[in-house]
Amino acid sequence: MRFVVIGAGMAGILAAIRLRDAGHDDVVVYEKADRPGGTWRENTYPGLACDVPSHFYSYSFAPNPEWTRRFSPGPEIQAYFVDVATRHGVMGRTRFGQEIVRCAFEGGRWHLETKDGTKDVADVIIAATGVLHHPKLPDIEGLETFAGAAFHSARWDHTVPLDGRRVGVVGTGSSAVQIVSALADRVGELVLFQRTPQWISPTPNPAYTDEERAHFRNHPDAIEEARRAASQQLTEGFANIIGDVDSPILQIIQDMCTQNLEQNVHDPVLREKLRPDYRAACKRLVMSDGFYEAIQRPNARLVTEAIARVEPAGVRTKDGKLHELDVLVLATGFHVDWFVRPMQVTGSDGVRLDDVWAHGATAYMALTVPGFPNFFMLNGPNGPVGNFSLIEVAELQCDYVLKLVEEIRRGACRELAPSADAMARFDAERREAAKKTIWNTGCRSWYLDETGLPTAWPFTFDRFRQEMGAPRLEDFERR
């Protein structure tokens, strides 16, 4: 069998390694950029870090004793992925600068084409295309007229000087919080334009000492224990209770975030501006140990008045005030519902994935779609997202895909895809469960589809592990 992996980010690197370890030699990775890394390659803004402990946000087969902090900065994570890809031979299998634009299932195989017209064929496609790399720009009048430097947080322009400048940040998600925390003591004035306040989880980020890193080097079991502890904390402390809105653990999270706000924001007016009107964990929790301190600096201002338009000199809010700026940062997120798009994917009988997803992206067990044989997505629609490690998610998904691929290798079939009935049953159960999650308690977030229903995995993470451990072969059409 010939395998094509699309994307050389975290999940694509993993897929290439797992396929090789399973004895599949004919594997090629297509990557649109000139180097691996995915979201950690795309995002280079000041303050970038992961909100999952680094020893857990690592491949299970590639522990790293050299992490400098509990939550390591982005450049370290990017370097880690490049190192793993190099040591495990993924670099030699990857065609960089080759963006797949079309995939069509014809004659029992997938036919692929890149942007420059290069063609390839594959028996199996693993789409590891990620969701945090297509910047979402806000629809703000006059944005193009701004006389200073303006850019999305994922397209950071490092040639633009920041020290002593007037910098505006639009957005209040994780990226914005990290940027504000990193820049507040550097810039002359920092203006944060807030549409919706966020609950901030207090997250100390201590540096590992030389002695601690030496201990990790000399005692690999210490890394494994750190991984186990983080997994247990994130699973039992969040991932297993999202569907129980009355969980006492969710109340503990609420109390912790409330206490963080009330104890660390001293101005009562500012405090109330920063207080959300929805429950903690309704949106993805923002982790920070420095944001409240940063936004209270004398040179920082929080603006809650809605933006009317951008002008050459700055941002004018609907109260008529002009906020003069030299730099405007758009920390406004990503098109998280694109998944494999804008790539055109055509399955059997000429069915287009865009048409199947016309009213929202869905996938059986978050991995595969009826009518698209031998096409698997890592971290695709309806998968687990939240405050836990997507590396663990991708590893579990890879194990599942390899079990399905084994059906092809042993000759039980040449093609397999979930049946329409199995997809309908799964989606109906998912939708019903989604109504009962903490994400459905009254906030707007990128977890919601166009109807306002959460799209992420709504069951316990324990169930996800169970489902990934043993595919329900009776749910698949095999030919």
Distance from the Cα of residue 41 to its chain's centroid: 13
Superfamily of domain 3-134+335-478: FAD/NAD(P)-binding domain (3.50.50.60)
Between the alpha carbon of residue 178 and those of residues 116, 281, 305, 330, 454, the distances in Å are: 37, 18, 22, 13, 25
Strand partners, 94: 29
State pLDDT tens for residues 55-69: 999 999 999 999 999
Question: Are 3-134+335-478 and 143-199+243-330 the same fold in CATH?
Answer: yes
Nearest to residue 201, comparing CAs of 160, 233, 244?
233
CA 438 – CA 429 distance, rounded (Å): 17
Non-local CB neighbours of 27 within 8 Å, separated by 6+ positions:
2, 3, 4, 5, 16, 19, 20, 93
Q: Give pLDDT tens digits along the chain (479 positions).
A: 999 999 999 999 999 999 999 999 999 999 999 999 999 999 999 999 999 999 999 999 999 999 999 999 999 999 999 999 999 999 999 999 999 999 999 999 999 999 999 999 999 999 999 988 889 999 999 999 999 999 999 999 999 999 999 999 999 999 999 999 999 999 999 999 999 999 999 999 999 999 999 999 999 999 999 999 999 999 998 889 999 999 999 999 999 999 999 999 999 999 999 999 999 999 999 999 999 999 999 999 999 999 999 999 999 999 999 999 999 999 999 988 888 989 999 999 999 999 999 989 999 999 999 999 999 999 999 999 876 799 999 999 999 999 999 999 999 999 999 999 999 999 999 999 999 999 999 999 888 988 899 999 999 999 999 999 999 999 999 99
Cis? peptide before 342, omega within 30° of 0? yes
Amino acid at 433: A
The sign of the dihedral angle between the CA atoms of 412, 413, 418, 419 is: negative
Q: How far apart are CA 274 and CA 197, in angstroms?
A: 5
Q: Which CATH architecture has domain 143-199+243-330?
A: 3-Layer(bba) Sandwich (3.50)
* Rounded CA separation 132/339 (Å): 9
Parallel, antiparallel or unpaired: strands 307-311 and 94-96: unpaired
3 state DSSP class of 376: strand
Token code pair at residue 423: 């997809």
Position 168: which residue type?
A: G
Q: Are 5 and 35 in contact (CB under 8 A)?
A: no
b/e burial code for range 343-367 (CB count within 10 A of at least 16 → b) = bebbbbeebebeebbeeebbbbbbb
Where do the H-state alpha helices sit in 345-451? 353-356, 390-409, 420-434
DSSP string, 169-192: EE--SHHHHHHHHHHTTTSSEEEE
* Encoded tokens for 320: 């008529």
Q: How far apart are CA 34 and CA 97, in angstroms?
A: 5
Residues 272 and 252: their CA atoms lie apart, in Å, by 21
For 375-384, write each residue's pLDDT tens digit.
Answer: 999 999 999 9
Burial of 283: CB neighbours in 10 Å, binned 0-12, 13-18, 19+: buried
According to DSSP, residue 439 is labeled G
Question: Contact, 453 vs 440, CB < 8 A?
Answer: yes
Interstrand relation of 189-193 and 200-202 (parallel, antiparallel or unpaired): unpaired
Q: How far is residue 434's CA from residue 452's CA, in Å, rounded to a whole number?
A: 10
What does each C-alpha distance from 275 to 113, 117, 199, 278 come to in angstroms? 49, 52, 7, 9
Per-domain boundaries in the chain: 3-134+335-478, 143-199+243-330
Contacts of 303 (CB under 8 A, 6+ apart): 191, 192, 193, 194, 317, 323
CB 322 within 8 A of CB 308: no
Q: Considering the chain, what percentage of its residues have pLDDT values greater than 70?
A: 100
SS (H, E, C) 300-357: EEEECCCEEEEECCEEEECCCCEEECCEEEECCCECCCCCCCCCEEECHHHCEHHHHC
Q: In what order do the strands lie in the sheet with 149-152?
A: 149-152, 327-330, 166-170, 189-193, 300-303
